[in-house]
Amino acid sequence: MSKVRHDWTKEEILEIYNRPLMELLYDAATIHRKQHNPNEIQVSTLLSIKTGGCSEDCGYCPQAARYHTDIDGNDLMSVSQVKAQALRAKSSGSSRVCMGAAWRNVKDGPEFDQVLEMVRTINKLDMEVCCTLGMVTENQAKRLSEAGLYAYNHNLDTSEDYYKDVISTRAFEDRIDTIENVRKTNVTVCSGGIIGMGEKLEDRAGMLVALSSLNPQPESTPINALVPVEGTPMEDIKPIEIWEMIRMVATTRIVLPETQVRLSAGRTEMSREGQAMCFFAGANSIFAGDKLLTTPNPDVNEDMEMFKTLGLNPQKPFKKSTQPQTVEAEDSKLNSLGEKPKWTRPDHKIERNEAAKAKAKA
């Protein structure tokens, strides 16, 4: 078994990232084969349960209200709508449903109660349930856990240094605090980031330093490639080359040997050959479905055809930890505390975010 290290330095990670590609691939694939079945891929379906109108200013995100992109916003979906979509995802080979709401943070109240009911409903379908709802307090994380949540996604996005160039409405430490709150429960942690936002290689390494230093390391790590969306501050950034994605996946596999590494946004821009190289380099999870929250994603049938060509099989649920028990709302011993936490608001501004906001207003 490869040893899990929590003390990687940026220099060590950069040395790995910059290895001759064939060596990097061989090293990553060797670790991958020791820790995982290389022919199994975990398939997650991402469902946007509440779209758009977000108060945050993440420079890559079309759901931020301030940028006025042309996405179709929607209020919180009903439990029955979510159940229907989960059943469809299950029949197409997904083992996990990840529900995303465009919120800065969770607020106690009827909407959160509705999300808890969605979690109970999907867990009863014997699927892994994941939520990405923004920042959560310890009590909110415990209530999600009690409902049967399997994983909570909270991406670090980038390095601590570059974070201030991407988002001004919250701080990097807020992300870490939420991950710590989730770790106080039995819910597994999903946390990763985005490459191709104009960051330096040092920032990609810095993000991996932060992820690998978490103890335990996240059970899953999505690696996204920026999909530039018109109207966002990052609309003009040129998409990265496939080689950068392959290097990032391989490096992530080496420093997070036990983690499920997920190919996420940006897959539509990748050829099958490129994706196959990512799987060889240690990616063992994908997001399925024709949309990733608001950006395009390959059709699920295309993915299943690709799996057939490559001899890959969708993984069964609950490989990383056992299925959580669901406690019904009426049997819950945890109360809603009426929390409407403020979290921090750093006092810096990001020029390109401000410019995009001004352009949208004009």
Q: How far is the CB of 348 from ligand SF4 (least distance, A)?
A: 16
Decide: is 56 part of the binding site for ligand SF4 (CB under 6 A). Answer: yes
Out of 28, 47, 61, 82, which residue is the one contacting ligand SF4 (CB under 6 A)? 61
Distance CA 39, CA 321 (A): 20
- Active-site residue 61, yes or no? yes
Compute how many residues bind ligand SF4; rule: CB under 6 A.
9
Question: Which of these, 124, 148, 186, 79, lies nearest to 327 by C-alpha position?
Answer: 148
Out of 43, 47, 49, 54, which residue is the one contacting ligand SF4 (CB under 6 A)? 54
Decide: is 58 part of the binding site for ligand SF4 (CB under 6 A). Answer: yes
- Active-site residue 98, yes or no? yes
- Active-site residue 54, yes or no? yes
Tell me how crowded residue 324 is: count the other CB atoms within 10 A of its CB. Answer: 23
Place of tokens 């979510």: 82
Q: Please tell me which residue in 104, 143, 262, 267 is annotated as part of the active site.
A: 262
Which tokens go with 315?
A: 């993984």
| Ligand-binding site membership of 130 (annotated) | yes
Q: Which parts of the chain fold into alpha helices (H)?
A: 10-17, 21-35, 79-91, 110-123, 138-147, 160-163, 172-183, 201-213, 242-255, 272-280, 300-310, 351-361
HSE on the CB side for 201, CA within 13 Å? 13
Residues 6+ apart with CB under 8 A from 92: 45, 288, 300, 304
Distance CA 174, CA 188 (A): 18
Residue pair 119/133 in contact (Cβ under 8 Å)? The answer is no
Closer by beta carbon to ligand SF4, 54 or else 208: 54
- Active-site residue 131, yes or no? no
- Active-site residue 58, yes or no? yes
| Ligand-binding site membership of 61 (annotated) | yes
- Active-site residue 130, yes or no? yes
Residues 6+ apart with CB under 8 A from 322: none
Decide: is 102 part of the binding site for ligand SF4 (CB under 6 A). Answer: yes
Q: Please tell me which residue in 120, 130, 183, 247 is annotated as part of the active site.
A: 130
Closer by beta carbon to ligand SF4, 127 or else 225: 225
313 DSSP 8-state letter: E
Region from 53-61, 222-230, 233-241, 259-267 binding ligand SF4, contact rule CB under 6 A: 53-61
Region from 50-58, 74-82, 306-314, 354-362 binding ligand SF4, contact rule CB under 6 A: 50-58
- Active-site residue 278, yes or no? no
Q: Please tell me which residue in 58, 66, 131, 175 is annotated as part of the active site.
A: 58
Out of 44, 45, 63, 153, which residue is the one contacting ligand SF4 (CB under 6 A)? 63
Q: Please tell me which residue in 54, 183, 267, 278 is annotated as part of the active site.
A: 54
Decide: is 118 part of the binding site for ligand SF4 (CB under 6 A). Answer: no
Residue pair 155/191 in contact (Cβ under 8 Å)? The answer is yes
Q: Which amino acid is at 58?
A: C
Q: How far is the CB of 205 from ligand SF4 (least distance, A)?
A: 23
Decide: is 64 part of the binding site for ligand SF4 (CB under 6 A). Answer: yes
For 19-33, what is the HEC assignment?
CCHHHHHHHHHHHHH
Q: Please tell me which residue in 66, 120, 170, 190 is annotated as part of the active site.
A: 190
Interaction site with ligand SF4 (CB under 6 A): 54, 56, 58, 61, 63-64, 102, 104, 134
Active site residues: 54, 58, 61, 98, 130, 190, 262
Residue positions forming the annotated binding site: 54, 58, 61, 98, 130, 190, 262
